Structure 1
């Protein structure tokens, strides 16, 4: 495949739906196919998925892929999703829609044709607002349907590495869990949350953990923290010297003016940093700009401390 990037509007990422793993995979594969072929996604575009496409992307046998496509032809048309949306007056609505408006399966050719429902098209194609993207290979090995959903919920917050606290009712809604399912917290954690986290940590590009939030003894929500795997190692920091100014320290405007003047008129400092032919006043003006940069505070820490700067 030329590209395997999945892009979904965050309204869809936060929607409620309960698709089986194979059905989620077909939706994702359809999005990829639309991008790969240049067809795009609209309520009139037929997206073609062959069993071999599914088998190759998700490392299954052709026989399994045939069964998945056949099952999707029977079940995916009836699947629904819902999401919350506010109108201009602040009224919140729960919108429900099918995933597809049309589905066709040619059994002899092991080929599935999908047309997305009108309501879902803008949620997949509206990229000028908040959206989440990831490579489909990140979820290709996940077999927990809640694992795929949880991964998508987490990677919305990839830039900060943690989610807000997800209130339990809202979290269940986003995972597509019905009110009668996994009502006991022990069952929810052992059958939904823990298997999802385990597979995310094993198969995807992030490593996640969660923190429980309680009111008394009752769990009211979960906060997830995660980090990207295989990041280049951070530079090893030298032991911190108590006499060295921390590199994140900054000066106030008043301190910048004061110590630019002190440094410019200090023979020891000026002899090292001053330019040939540069007057003390010219050096002072140059230092006003340089002292804004924390790196220079570190570089000149000894001089600044000697002249009375206390970080």
Structure 2
């Protein structure tokens, strides 16, 4: 497949992620994040209606061949990455912040089970049934973005910022604060305790990378109340 046709193919591959998941607190290494994307893609493409979440089962299949196809790596690398990604998902938790109900926040393991199929180069992943509603949406609010676009980013924290910014493409502005970013993205103590350090070592390099590698054009400023105001817009389409 040529470079041009491969890019055209990848641009058509979308991920639809519930805003509850976008706003959750978790850290996954890049391999695990990519495995999660491959599962979210399956939920997205299984959608038959706006109420598709009720029909999505917690079982997903992740193959080495799909990892090769979507992330443009060698088969040996993909095999290693998928195994590492599944292992990291199985050992990790995610914290959600429900808008309703008894709990202000709740932490759950991602997976119930993960099994590698004999000789097939694929894994069957079963998500924790209590996580599934957050994966496919407790509400009608979703963030949709292209796998090709976010696939140009190789830092998980930059990817998380990109996903958050994509929620506000339609309104063009996002207001948040230092504490929210540190908590949700699980930033290190040096950035939690020092706002200037967080901006210098995370936020500004991340925005630069997003502006270089994705369709978004992003800037930010600090308001008088200390909160961060992000400007989010799509870059003009290039005229061929």
TM-score (norm 2): 0.81
Work out the CA distance in 2 between the residues paired with 1:26 and 1:204: 21
> Which residue is 1:67 aligned to?
80
| Equivalent pair of 1:17/1:175 in contact (CA under 8 Å) | yes
Unaligned runs of 5+ in 2: 1-8
1:29 aligns with 2:42: no
> Which residue is 1:139 aligned to?
150
Aligned residue among 175, 189, 210 for 2:199 = 189
CA distance 1:8–1:214, shift in 2 (3 Å): same
> Which residue is 1:223 aligned to?
229
1:167 aligns with 2:177: yes
Q: What is the CA distance between 1:211 and its match in structure 2? A: 0.9
> Which residue is 1:109 aligned to?
120
1:206 aligns with 2:219: no
Aligned residue among 102, 109, 113 for 1:98 = 109
Aligned length: 225
> Which residue is 2:137 aligned to?
126
| Equivalent pair of 1:210/1:222 in contact (CA under 8 Å) | yes
Higher relative contact order (CA 8 A, sep 6+): 2
| Equivalent pair of 1:18/1:177 in contact (CA under 8 Å) | no
1:78 aligns with 2:91: yes
Work out the CA distance in 2 between the residues paired with 1:122 and 1:229: 33
Unaligned runs of 5+ in 1: 234-311
Work out the CA distance in 2 between the residues paired with 1:38 and 1:129: 13
RMSD: 2.8
Aligned residue among 41, 45, 51 for 2:64 = 51
Can you list the C-alpha shifts for 1:79-114, whole angstroms capped at 9, x where unaligned? 1111212436xx651111122221122474331221
| Equivalent pair of 1:100/1:116 in contact (CA under 8 Å) | yes
CA distance 1:47–1:38, shift in 2 (3 Å): farther
